[in-house]
Structure 1
Amino acid sequence: MAPVQKALWYVESHSRDVLSLEAVARASCVSPYHLTRSFAEVFGISLMRYTRQRRLSEAAKQLAAGAPDILSIAFDYGYGSHEAFSRAFKKEFGVTPERVRTLADLSLLQLKEPIVMDSTQLPRLNPPREETLPALAFAGLVERYDCQSSAGIPNQWQRTSPLLGSISPLVSQDAYGICFNFDETDGKFDYMAGVPVEQGTTLPPGLVRFDLPTHKYAVFQHGGHISEIRSVIAAIWADALSQANQEPVSGPVLEKYGPEFDPQTGRGGFEIWIPVK
C-alpha cells in the first residue's frame, strides 16, 4: 500500500483523535516531509488541511442531525473549547455551528467527503538514477501557488521565455522549473521558471536570481508529453520514491527540460529531480 493510501486510512480511522503530522507519517512509514509532499501532489490539498476539513464536515453532519451539545462535538473532534471549535467551523463554512444545528440543513455547506484513491490512475515509472548536482545559479520569474492553483505555471513560462532570451552567457541550453519554500500546513510553494546562469551575470529587469547548493538527487526521466507532468510527479511521491528505497529531504524539487524538449508541441520529455539523502 502506498504511503498516501496509508495516510488516508489513518486519518479516516482516527478522525476523533488529536492527529499530528508526525503521527500520520509514522503510520504511513515515511518521513513527515515525504508525506506532506506526496499527499499534496497526489490529492491537490495539504494533509493537515484535508484532516481539518474532514473533521469539521463530520461534525457538521452531527450538528444538522440535532446534536444536543455543541461542546461535546467540539471535544469529540479535537477542539479544546466551544470558542475554538466555533471559530474554526465558521472560518471553514461561513456559518456558526449553532445555525447549522438550528436549520438542520447541510445544502449550503461545502462538505469534504473522504477521498477514495485509485492507484491505477497514476503512471508506472522506471527506477530513478542518482546524480549529484553542483551548486548552480538560476535566473527566472517566481510565482507562489498552492496545490490547487498550479495550472497557472504554463502561463508563467510564457511570460518568462521572452525575458530569458536577453541573458548571456547561458550555462547550458536546459531550462528548469524549481519548486521551493513548500508550506506543510497549506501546501503552498514558490515556483521559478528559469535557466542556469554564470555567477555574477547581470539580470534584465523583471528576473530574479536563485542559488541552488550542491545536492544529491533521485532523477526520474519521462519521455511523454508535458501535459502528463502532474501525474508523473504524483506517481513519484505516491510510491516510486519508496519503491526505489530513496528517502527525500526538504529542498527544492527540479523539473529539467533539455534541448530536445519542444515548448511549442510539449513533446521531447522531461526529468524530475527529487533531493534525497
Structure 2
Amino acid sequence: MVSDKTKSATFNRISKVLGFIHRHLDTPLSLDEIAAQSCWSRWQLQRVFQAETGLTVANYVRQLKLSLAAELLLDTDQRVIDIALATGFNSEIAFSRAFKQFFACSPRVYRKAGQRTGLKKPIEISEVQVNGERAQSFVEVRVETKPAFILKGMRGEITGLFSLAPNFADVVPKLWQRLDAEANSTSLSFGHCLGVVDVTKAAFDGSNLFYWAGIELRSDIAMPALPSVVSEQLAILNVPKQTYAAVKHKGPIDRLPQTLEWFILHWLPTSGYRGVDGYELEVYPDDYQADASHAEMEYWVPIVRV
C-alpha cells in the first residue's frame, strides 16, 4: 500500500512538472527537459504523469499549446505563422496540421467562426477538506461554447452555495427523484440528463435561484411533439447559446460545493474570464454513480473573456 507521505511526494513532484510546462509553452518543450524537472526517467515520468492526470505528457503539452494558440487566434490579429512560433511550433505547416487534428478545423476557419470551444486550460491544484483533513487534487478546466437547446424537467427554487442557508442538498435530490418517476413511465429515447441552475434573476443573498432536473431534448425532435415528449407533467426551458468554463468534479456529489468554491474563489479571478448571470449546467455521464469515490461529472459556468 502506498503511504500518504509517498502520495504527497508524488503529488508535489507532478505539481513541479506542471508548473514547468505552464511556464514554457512558448518553447518546443522536449520530454527530456520535462523529465529533468522530476526525479524520474522519461518512461517513469510518463507512467506517473498519466496515472495522476489521465493524460500522457506529450498530449497534455500539445493540448495546452493548441488551446493557447486558439485563444490568440480569437483575441489578436496576429498572423498564423507568428502564433505558431509563439507557441513553440517550428513551422506553420506543422502547427496547422496539429491544430486541425485537435480542433477538426484549420486555424483560419477557427478564427472565422469566432467561438471558444475545445479550449483546455492548465491543470491546477485545489485544496478541500475531506473528513476534517486537508486534501489536494488536480482539477481540469476547459472552455466550451454550447448551442442553444431545449430542456424538459422538474423545476424547484433553491438557495445557493453562498447564501446564509443553502438548501440545494435537500431540494435537488428530490427533483431528480421526481424526474426519474416521470421518465420511467415512458420508453422514448429523447436525450440525456442535465442539471440546470437558472441564475438569471438571482438575488445577491443567493436566493431566487431555480434548479431544473431535466432532459436535454435531441435536436431532431419536431417542435409540435415537444409538449408530449417524455411527459406532459414536465415544463420546458429554453437555454440560450452560451460560452462556459467546464470544471471536472471527481468524487461523491456531496463534495461538489467544495469544487465550486475553489473554482469561483480561486480559478476564476486569475483566469482571464469573468462569470456572467446565465444558466449553469451539471453534465453527467450515462453511468454516473453519485456516491462513488471514482465518480466524475462536470459543472459548466457561463463566462465571457475579460
TM-score relative to the length of structure 1: 0.51
Between 1:141-150 and 1:151-160, the stretch displaced more is: 151-160
Aligned equivalent of 1:170, options 190, 193, 198 = 190
Aligned equivalent of 2:254, options 204, 212, 227 = 227
Native 8 Å contact 2:250 2:293 kept in 1: no
The aligned counterpart of 1:185 is: 204
Cα distance change of structure 1 residues 234 and 256 upon mapping to structure 2, 3 Å threshold: same
Between 1:175-184 and 1:133-142, the stretch displaced more is: 175-184
Gaps of 5+ in 2: 1-126, 130-134, 161-165
Cα distance change of structure 1 residues 212 and 254 upon mapping to structure 2, 3 Å threshold: same
1:206 Cα deviation after fit: 2.2
Q: Which amino acid letter does the alignment assign opposite residue 235 of structure 1? A: W
Native 8 Å contact 1:255 1:270 kept in 2: yes
Native 8 Å contact 1:128 1:244 kept in 2: no
Native 8 Å contact 1:169 1:197 kept in 2: no
Are 1:138 and 2:165 counterparts? Answer: no
1:177 Cα deviation after fit: 0.9
1:276 partner SS: strand
Native 8 Å contact 2:251 2:291 kept in 1: no
Q: Which amino acid letter does the alignment assign opposite residue 154 of structure 1? A: P
Q: Which amino acid letter does the alignment assign opposite residue 300 of structure 2? A: W
Aligned equivalent of 1:155, options 164, 174, 183 = 174
Native 8 Å contact 2:251 2:292 kept in 1: no
Are 1:257 and 2:284 counterparts? Answer: yes
The residue correspondences of 1:1-277 to structure 2 (distance < 5 A) are 121=129, 126-147=139-160, 148-152=166-170, 153-165=172-184, 166=186, 168-171=188-191, 174-181=192-199, 182-188=201-207, 189-198=209-218, 199=221, 200=223, 201=226, 202-203=228-229, 204-263=231-290, 265=292, 268-277=295-304
Q: Which amino acid letter does the alignment assign opposite residue 303 of structure 2? A: V
Q: Which amino acid letter does the alignment assign opposite residue 247 of structure 2? A: F
Identical pairs, percent? 22
1:222 Cα deviation after fit: 1.8
Structure with the bigger percentage of strand: 2
Distance in structure 1 (CA, Å) of the matches to 2:303 and 2:283:
17
Q: Which amino acid letter does the alignment assign opposite residue 183 of structure 2? A: L
1:268 Cα deviation after fit: 2.4
TM-score relative to the length of structure 2: 0.46
Cα distance change of structure 1 residues 136 and 167 upon mapping to structure 2, 3 Å threshold: farther
2:139 partner SS: coil
Gaps of 5+ in 1: 1-118
Count, aligned residues: 157
Native 8 Å contact 2:278 2:302 kept in 1: yes
Distance in structure 1 (CA, Å) of the matches to 2:128 and 2:299:
21
Distance in structure 2 (CA, Å) of the matches to 1:120 and 1:262:
21
Relative contact order: is structure 1 or structure 2 higher (C-alpha 8 Å, sep ≥ 6)?
1
Native 8 Å contact 1:164 1:195 kept in 2: no
Q: CA offsets per residue over residues 132-162 of structure 1, 9 Å max, x none?
A: 1111111110000113211221122112112
2:233 partner SS: coil
1:266 Cα deviation after fit: 7.7
Distance in structure 2 (CA, Å) of the matches to 1:120 and 1:225:
13
2:273 partner SS: coil
